Amino acid sequence: MSDVLSPEQRHRNMSRIRGRDTGPERTVRSLLHRMGYRFRLHRRDLPGRPDIVLPRLRSVIFVHGCFWHRHKGCRYATTPKTRAIFWQKKFKENVERDWRNVTALYKDGWRVLCVWECETRDLKGLEQQLSSFLEYAENDGIK
């Protein structure tokens, strides 16, 4: 099956995809702010440059796109039909890199939460997830 877009159109679409300040990331940040939390963004000194860092709670939050980070069982984690080998390699490298970054953060004493893009569509559920994660960090004696 061939791509419905020309190579130029596909290139234009893909070049507009950004790694930070995405819609799902802004949704999570907005919700955290309304919940009273203050945070830092994209700290370069931490493995994987977490999207959101709450230093006082020694906690980080990654906001993963379901497509790029391969959310298992998610309808948004589709695989393109063209250039299958390229995409399989790309996705495998992304997942391995994510795993290495999360492992390094745990080893350094950070608490890690990964929020999936599809989870940002349910604001009540997302707020509950964030609340549970951060409440535990506050009560865990991590200051």
Domain that holds residue 68: 21-139
What CATH number is given to the structural domain containing 95?
3.40.960.10
Beta bridge partners of 52: 41, 61
The answer to whether residue 128 is domain-embedded is yes
Query: Is 9 inside a domain boundary?
Result: no
For residues 13 and 113, give the distance between their C-alpha atoms in angstroms, rounded to a whole number: 29
Q: Per the structure, how many domains does the chain have?
A: 1
Quick one: tokens of 122? Answer: 């349910």
Beta bridge partners of residue 41, listed in sequence order: 52
Burial class (CB in 10 A: 0-12, 13-18, 19+), 46: middle
Percent over 70 (pLDDT), the chain: 90
Write the pLDDT tens digit of every residue in 2-61: 667 677 876 677 666 666 778 899 999 999 999 999 999 999 999 999 999 999 999 999
**Amino acid found at 106:** Y
Query: What predicted TM-score, i.e. pTM, was given to this entire model?
Result: 0.85
